Amino acid sequence: MNSEQPEEPGTPQPPPERGTPVGRRVLLGTIGLGALGVVAAPALQHALEGFLGAAAEKDPTGLTGLLPNGGGFRYYSVASSVPHRNATNYRLTVDGLVDRPKTYTLDDLRALPQTRLVKDVQCVTGWRVPGTPFEGVRLSRLLDAAGVRSTAGAVRFTCFDGTYTESLTLDQARRSDVLVALRMQDKNIGHDHGGPVRLYVAPMYFYKSAKWLSGITVTEDVKPGYWEDRGYDVDAWVGHSNGRDDEPTS
């Protein structure tokens, strides 16, 4: 557990802009005190997420301690508490419109060929962490192993936090830069970052990269995920402004 990261955010809060500390005055000036106490518009809600957990411990106003952790990542969870899973009790199910549904253990996933990608991570709220390595099993490999039926058009992801969901079209899910990730920043993914296994959708905003991944269900159509139900784009392509968001050739 990284002590720099908040663990269980309660009320959401605004992130600093790209690693710049945001002072209390700026915060209040931007959104107004009233917005802190209620659930705001979806976009603001997301912009505000993941903040009070740590700050509240440090300051009763909940308005200080806005600094991102050293690596530039913020801790995000829409669930207030998430169970821990490890090599003993972690399971990933692949089911739905497939010929061979399967349940993987962590060791099963580790035994499969691993792909490593190093790209920028970008949250839709503006923060970015450049050149972050992710490593894991290509989602396309798990889909091929399951035998996707011809009627299928999409993939739905569920999480053992019991709340978060995401989805991709089948074409998106089959891209070579979409991983069922076991490692991030060249370490096994820790609990706070969605370990032991999270989705990593390299070319899309980071909200697509569902943490604590526990289910992959092949479906007919895309069913919008948690944030998408709250107003976010289902097709969450990151702008190509960094010139590094294209699909890798290898």
Ligand X SMILES: Nc1nc2c(c(=O)[nH]1)N[C@H]1C(S)=C(S)[C@@H](COP(=O)(O)O)O[C@H]1N2
Interaction mask 22-41, ligand X, x per CB under 6 A: --------------------
One of 51, 90, 104, 164 touching ligand X (CB under 6 A): 164
CA distance 75 to 147: 35
CA distance 19 to 223: 33
Q: Which is nearer to ligand X, 135 or 161 (CB)?
A: 161
State the minimum distance, in angstroms, from the CB of residue 245 to ligand X.
Answer: 16
Total length of the chain: 250
| CB neighbourhood size of 231 (10 A) | 13
Q: Burial-class residue 178 by CB neighbours within 10 Å (0-12, 13-18, 19+).
A: buried
CA distance 58 to 210: 28
One of 13, 77, 115, 158 touching ligand X (CB under 6 A): 77
State the minimum distance, in angstroms, from the CB of residue 133 to ligand X.
Answer: 14
One of 36, 54, 82, 123 touching Mo ion (CB under 5 A): 123
DSSP 207: G
State the minimum distance, in angstroms, from the CB of residue 189 to ligand X.
Answer: 8
Return the half-sphere exposure (C-beta side, CA atoms, 13 A cut-off) of residue 41: 5
One of 36, 63, 68, 75 touching ligand X (CB under 6 A): 75
Q: Residue 87 forms beta bridges with which residues? A: none
Residue 232: name its binding partner from Mo ion, ligand X, none (Cβ under 5 to 8 Å by kind): none
Contact 6, 56 (CB under 8 A): no
Interaction mask 117-156, ligand X, x per CB under 6 A: ------x---------------------------------
Which of the stretches 8-16, 85-93, 118-126, 237-245 binds Mo ion when contact is defined by CB under 5 A?
118-126
Q: Burial-class residue 214 by CB neighbours within 10 Å (0-12, 13-18, 19+).
A: middle
| CB neighbourhood size of 154 (10 A) | 21
Q: Which is nearer to Mo ion, 115 or 125 (CB)?
A: 125
Q: Residue 129 forms beta bridges with which residues? A: 121
Which of the stretches 17-25, 58-66, 208-216, 235-243 binds ligand X when contact is defined by CB under 6 A?
208-216
Q: Is 199 in the site for Mo ion (CB under 5 A)?
A: no
The count of chain residues that interact with ligand X, using the rule CB under 6 A, is 18
Q: Which is nearer to Mo ion, 27 or 236 (CB)?
A: 236
The residues that touch Mo ion, with contacts defined as CB under 5 A, are: 123, 206-207
